[in-house]
């Protein structure tokens, strides 16, 4: 399915280049087929086990005008930027952002966020990001007593964000935990830019 996505992206790039050439040569897009910002390609997300059907993108109708303006060139730039913003790359998979929002379960998201909505748990994830640690090390670095620390470690393990080595008893962050911590860090960096903190 990754090959289908690459082909679809190549087609979109080709269409945009043709549109750009049409504008430069004195043609414009008709008002009936105006390019809307919400057009995007949806692809299958194999890891989630679901299949997303691609939405067909209609070809714009081109009519000959007198000449191209800088306004029309700006339209091309806006279309390219909209395309980039409407599709998010996660690893080697492209996911339509609107589809992510449509599929968002408020209850499920709230439940998932309660696991990480605790400063002690985020601190534990940060400590384990580069290297595994033993219970006593985590206890010393967090300043938590054994009972609350055990509670937080259990919550993180139940969520699949950390695991414990059977042989040595050391706590290590999982790949899922690294992804979640990275998303938290990204969210926090963006939130600080727009929030009044």
pLDDT digits 0-9 by tens, 149-178? 999 999 999 999 999 999 989 999 999 999
Percent of the chain predicted with pLDDT > 70: 57
Q: How crowded is the C-beta side of 15, counted as CA atoms within 13 Å?
A: 17
| Residues making up the chain, counted from first to last | 197
Q: List, for residues 71-81, the tens digit of each pLDDT value.
A: 666 666 666 66
Render pLDDT for 94-121 as a digit per residue (tens, 0 to 9): 666 677 778 888 998 898 899 999 999 9
Mean pLDDT is lowest, of 15-24, 50-59, 133-142, 179-188, for 50-59
- Contact predicate 82/40, CB 8 Å: no
| pLDDT, tens digit, 9 for 90 and up, residues 24-66 | 665 554 444 444 444 444 444 444 444 444 444 444 444 444 4
Q: CA-CA distance, 187 to 65, in Å (whole number)? A: 46
CB 161, CB 177: distance < 8 Å: yes
pLDDT at 189: 83
**CB of 176 within 8 A of CB of 186?**
no
Structure tokens at 18: 């043709």
Q: Which helix (H) or strand (E) holds 63?
A: strand 62-63
How large is the C-alpha radius of gyration of the chain?
Answer: 24
Half-sphere exposure of 7 (CA within 13 A, CB side): 5
In this predicted structure, what is the pLDDT of residue 188?
Answer: 86
User: What class is the 106-194 domain?
Assistant: mainly alpha
pLDDT average, residue stretch 133-159: 95
C-beta of residue 115 within 8 angstroms of C-beta of residue 155: yes
pTM strictly above 0.75: no
**Could you tell me the residue ranges of all domains in the chain?**
2-102, 106-194
pLDDT at 62: 43
Helix axes of 2-24 and 70-86: crossing angle, nearest 10 degrees? 170
């Amino acid at each position: 399915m990754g090959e289908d996505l690459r082909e679809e992206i190549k087609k979109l790039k080709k269409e945009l280049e043709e549109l750009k050439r049409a504008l430069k040569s004195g043609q414009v897009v008709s008002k009936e087929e105006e390019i809307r910002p919400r057009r995007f390609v949806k692809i299958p997300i194999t890891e989630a086990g679901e299949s997303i059907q691609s939405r067909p993108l209609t070809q714009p109708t081109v009519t000959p005008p007198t000449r191209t303006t800088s306004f029309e060139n700006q339209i091309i730039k806006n279309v390219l930027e909209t395309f980039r913003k409407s599709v998010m790359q996660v690893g080697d998979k492209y996911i339509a952002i609107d589809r992510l929002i449509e599929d968002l379960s408020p209850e499920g998201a709230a439940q998932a966020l309660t696991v990480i909505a605790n400063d002690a748990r985020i601190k534990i994830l940060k400590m384990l990001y580069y290297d595994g640690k033993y219970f006593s090390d985590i206890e010393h670095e967090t300043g938590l007593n054994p009972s609350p620390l055990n509670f937080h470690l259990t919550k993180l393990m139940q969520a699949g964000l950390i695991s414990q080595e059977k042989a040595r008893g050391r706590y290590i962050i999982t790949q899922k935990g690294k992804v979640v911590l990275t998303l938290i860090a990204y969210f926090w960096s963006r939130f600080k830019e727009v929030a009044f903190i």
